[in-house]
Structure 1
């Protein structure tokens, strides 16, 4: 069953965060992730008004978790940790 990786981000250091993206995008794509929404226009209806939102589709919940745990993505996170505040959820897509 496919799964979605849904992230919400507030960026404090755009230059450093760009380095995260430079490393994260290939790591995600190499693990089967397909970007569904990234940098799209949005409206916050409830809760914290995050600056950015990204949705990535993976073949399964296990593959989304494997991507997050991969050495390449963990390396990308070293840039994001100092440049942003994030929330990330992975969820099965209902059939």
Structure 2
């Protein structure tokens, strides 16, 4: 069953660090089996109405998503991020 890695950027503290992270994270996660489904600012918000950057990545399984997160290439991306953003990240099963 597919799972979805959801990242919501609650606060961006350093745009340059976020850009450095993105340059490394995108290729690392794609190489690890991730498919980017959505990313960017919302076009429309409801209820709490937070206009925050959101990234949605599909993986084939929980194990693949965990391995992508723990991979050396993605860990290098996290090092580049170095506190440049406050994020809420989770892996959610598909239905």
TM-score, normalised by the number of residues in structure 2 = 0.88
Structure 2, gaps ≥5 residues long:
none
Q: Counterpart of 2:53?
A: 52
Structure 1, gaps ≥5 residues long:
none
8 Å CA contact 2:62–2:91 kept in 1: the answer is: yes
8 Å CA contact 1:5–1:64 kept in 2: the answer is: yes
SS at match of 1:66: helix
Task: Indicate how the Cα distance of structure 1 residues 8 and 48 shifts in structure 2: closer, same or farther if over 3 A, else same.
Answer: farther
Paired residues, what number?
Answer: 94
8 Å CA contact 1:27–1:72 kept in 2: the answer is: yes
Task: Indicate how the Cα distance of structure 1 residues 65 and 47 shifts in structure 2: closer, same or farther if over 3 A, else same.
Answer: farther
Offset at residue 46 of structure 1 (A):
4.2
Deviation per residue, 1:23-71 (Å, 9 max, x gap): 0001100011000001153444345825200000001111011101111
SS at match of 1:82: coil
8 Å CA contact 1:8–1:53 kept in 2: the answer is: yes
